[in-house]
Amino acid sequence: MRLHGFLIGQTETLLAEVLRLNGPADATTSRFFRAHPKLGHGERGVIAEAVFAVLRRRMEFAHLAESGTGSPARRMALLGLMQTAGRSALKPFVSEAESKWLDHVATIDPESLPLRIRLNLPDWIHQALAKRFEAAELAQLAAALNYPAPLDLRANPIKASRDEVLSALSKAGIEAGATPFAPFGVRVAGKPPLTKLDAFQQGWLEVQDEGSQLLCSLVAPKRGEMIVDFCAGAGGKTLALGAAMRSTGRLYAFDISERRLARLKPRLARSGLSNVNPVLIDSEHDAKIKRLAGKIDRVLVDAPCSGLGTLRRNPDLKWRQSPESVAELAPKQASILASAARLVKKGGRLVYATCSILEAENEAVVQQFLADHADFALVPAREVLAEQRIDLEMGDYLSLWPHRHATDGFFAAVLERQS
């Protein structure tokens, strides 16, 4: 859409609020738009995209905004708008001095900036990732995290095949194609309004990142089994598991948040599934869990985590999280995994997963669990993927990275209770 001058001021106001880091950026943005109901859909998109561009490249933009005319906050807003709307769109609405400054910024080679600024990662995250990647690949990962994620969908095989979903999208004028790895995955160009489509309303498709879909493939549920999604949230993985079970057996969706489980209900109604049982629990030690001990075939634990694998969608997390907040998560992750393990019958499967890219939340948690639970053994992810006929090169764990796989950052380990 065409940029209007007043959007610069609105962007600056929202950006200042978001950069206080008092809560999730998407929640702050939603509150701002509710308080400004006269802003149209397109105008909201321009403002939000500019603000999130600044969050992604905050260190770089703050460095560039150190010089120039006007306040640093306005210069940061202008850089975000230049990134998303383009310099030529801004020119009619800025002063001559600002115009010259934007022209100057456009001539700066990003490669000339100091590496730590160019990566746009806090030092503690940079140091953690530098232990895993050589400098060149770390730069590729950081660059991938600074671009918005594509929109991925999952075809619901209870209602329609992937080809039928692709055909429906094409007829609606939406450009889309199959994802490279997940068997039901669809990747859409842009951000079209899917909720208005008949295919969406009829439950043919759900929004779900390809990486999240691959986690469900590691669970590999079978018809007629008893399955638990231990931290179900709004139920994206629950729905994928239920569809893989062809709506047979029994699938429990546990969560401690009534609000999150409420968001599952309309999705469940569209899905056509009849085997899902949402269950509100008070903690990982709830009596409802104890009653199922040793009875469950497969358990998925998508554990609460830092969320740093989702920086393409939630760039504020790299500024809101800290080494201390990650350290506080580790005991909770271990407790949840140990509690979920009690549900698994002999010969059953336990999948521990996060959307984190930190070893402390991933491999370290699994290795400590295995040290404490001699009755569980690691099943190499590469073997499970091969059984599922998913052509994806992996080692013992599923480790997905934006720069390698074009998914969010995901980790998963498959654990089996020895019979």
DSSP for 319-381 reads HH--HHHHHHHHHHHHHHHHHHHTTEEEEEEEEEEES---GGGTHHHHHHHHHH-TTEEEE-H
CA gap 143, 119 in Å, rounded: 7
Would you mind telling me the total number of residues written for the chain in this entry?
419
For residue 418, give the nearest of 377, 358, 365 by alpha carbon. Answer: 377
Tell me the β-bridge partners of 379: 414
CA gap 224, 345 in Å, rounded: 15
Contact of 252 with 289, CB cutoff 8 Å? no
Instruction: Give the active site residues.
Output: 355
The DSSP code for 149 is: P
For residue 88, what is the enclosing H or E element?
Answer: helix 87-90
Contact of 56 with 315, CB cutoff 8 Å? yes
For residue 228, what is the enclosing H or E element?
Answer: strand 226-229
CA gap 279, 288 in Å, rounded: 9
Distances (CA, A) of 123 to 59, 119, 129, 165: 11, 10, 10, 43
For residue 16, give the nearest of 27, 30, 29 by alpha carbon. Answer: 29
CA gap 35, 45 in Å, rounded: 16
CA-angle at 406, arms to 53 and 395, nearest 5°: 135
For residue 168, what is the enclosing H or E element?
Answer: helix 162-171
For residue 232, give the nearest of 203, 269, 263 by alpha carbon. Answer: 263
Residue 399 buriedness (CB in 10 A; 0-12 / 13-18 / 19+): buried
Q: Which two tokens stand for residue 413?
A: 């380990």
| Other Cβ atoms closer than 10 A to 245 | 23
Contact of 47 with 113, CB cutoff 8 Å? no
